[in-house]
Structure 1
Amino acid sequence: MKHTNHKVGTLVLAILLSVSLLACSDGDDHAPVSSEPTLNIVETAVDDGRFTTLVAALQAAELDDDLSGTGPFTVFAPTDDAFDLLPVGTVTALLEPDNKATLIDLLLYHMIDAEVPASDAIALDGTSAVMLNALNVRIDVVNDDMILNLNGNREAMVTVTDIECTNGVIHVIDAVLDPADSP
């Protein structure tokens, strides 16, 4: 009787395993997995969750529609934590309608009107890149870290690179860049 129960148990286990494998299969074992991005820069920032302040600033500056366009763009995107490092009241003041021009200038200082993957940005070590507000951001590589505006008022380290979007790329930074640091 023990021998029969073992065979039945093995058979039941085999059937359950087969059913599990079939349930996980989409029926097309040879279909390539798409790695193409499906969201634009603004949608990606919203979906990510780390950029609520940046998204609010883009909306207040009315740049969200532009960054949702065809591009390509590169955005050095400060996280919410990066915005929290600014002096108390700075973000609130920047979001006021009277400060829209200053906000636009600040935001454009985080964007390039081209797609620049990290490998290309790293190749700019020791030089500068022209941002959408026509000012330069210095790019340095220090101990394998990409630093923007090294030794400036608000130097920023790139913490995550190459978040692909349908209209460009996002590189995450740990500080809000200061246009006054333009070399």
Structure 2
Amino acid sequence: MNLKIYFLPAVALSILVACNQGTETVESPTSIASAGAGQASVQDDDSQKDIVKIAVGSKEHTTLVKAVQAADLVNSLSNAGPFTVFAPVNAAFDKLPAGTVEGLLEPSKKADLQNVLEYHVGVGVLKTDLLVDGQSLGQVNGKNITISKKDGKIVVNGTANIIASIPASNGIIHVIDAVLLPPQ
């Protein structure tokens, strides 16, 4: 009886393998090369742009784009999400102490760079009308940011003003004027 339990699936598997011999498809070199490229490699000029494509197209976010690429987060931020991204402009990075950005872009600091960038990303779409004074939001890196309102403006962690909001196909980008540094 025990032999039948093991013997029948083995016979069925053997028949299946024998029938499929010679019918294997061979992928072209192009499809193999692009197979590992991830969501960011999808060419779509008709749909609304995702967060990464919007940032790449912004002359005010070249430092952020370089950092996202160095941290290997391009595909993550190109996925369906939805995400709320607080995106510092180039001038925000310029306010950091000299050498900070360059140091974080070093391959040996990749984990630190990922931590900083993930502190700028939340899961879900939080438009400005959903952000309230005193609100605490969990970020992808596991830390929280705090929202406040001052003179009708939305401020993140008491230092970064939201200066614009841009809808994306996979969430929303809040353009900010300061870099958010995660608590230690």
- Length-normalised TM-score, structure 1: 0.73
1:158 aligns with 2:166: no
1:103-148 Cα shifts (integer Å, max 9, x gaps): 0000000000111111112xx3112100111101010001101111
- State the shift of 1:178 in Å: 1.1
Match of 1:143 among 124, 141, 151: 151
Q: Equivalents in 1 of 2:49, 2:169: separation in Å? A: 6
Match of 1:131 among 132, 139, 148: 139
Residue number in structure 1 paired with 2:65 = 55
Structure 2 regions of 5+ residues with no counterpart?
1-45
Q: Equivalents in 2 of 1:110, 1:91: separation in Å? A: 15
RMSD of aligned alpha carbons: 1.4
Asked whether the equivalents of residues 37 and 165 of structure 1 are also in contact (C-alpha less than 8 Å), the reply is no
- State the shift of 1:48 in Å: 1.9
Query: What code does the residue aligned with 2:149 have?
Result: V
Q: Equivalents in 2 of 1:171, 1:47: separation in Å? A: 15
Residue number in structure 2 paired with 1:10 = none
Residue number in structure 1 paired with 2:77 = 67
Q: Equivalents in 2 of 1:164, 1:145: separation in Å? A: 19
Q: Equivalents in 2 of 1:58, 1:113: separation in Å? A: 17
- Length-normalised TM-score, structure 2: 0.73
Residue number in structure 1 paired with 2:49 = 39
Q: Equivalents in 2 of 1:73, 1:127: separation in Å? A: 17
Identity of aligned residues (%): 44
Residue number in structure 2 paired with 1:179 = 182
Q: Equivalents in 1 of 2:47, 2:112: separation in Å? A: 32
1:169 aligns with 2:172: yes
Asked whether the equivalents of residues 143 and 183 of structure 2 are also in contact (C-alpha less than 8 Å), the reply is no
Q: Equivalents in 1 of 2:67, 2:49: separation in Å? A: 19
Asked whether the equivalents of residues 123 and 139 of structure 2 are also in contact (C-alpha less than 8 Å), the reply is yes
Q: Equivalents in 2 of 1:135, 1:37: separation in Å? A: 33
Residue number in structure 1 paired with 2:123 = 113
Structure 1 regions of 5+ residues with no counterpart?
1-35
- State the shift of 1:55 in Å: 0.6
- State the shift of 1:37 in Å: 6.3
Asked whether the equivalents of residues 41 and 165 of structure 1 are also in contact (C-alpha less than 8 Å), the reply is yes
1:24-51 Cα shifts (integer Å, max 9, x gaps): xxxxxxxxxxxx9611100001112210
- Residues 70-109 of structure 1 correspond to what in structure 2 (within 5 A)? 70-109=80-119
- State the shift of 1:149 in Å: 0.9
Q: Equivalents in 2 of 1:76, 1:149: separation in Å? A: 11
Q: Equivalents in 2 of 1:37, 1:90: separation in Å? A: 36
Q: Equivalents in 2 of 1:180, 1:43: separation in Å? A: 29
Residue number in structure 1 paired with 2:36 = none
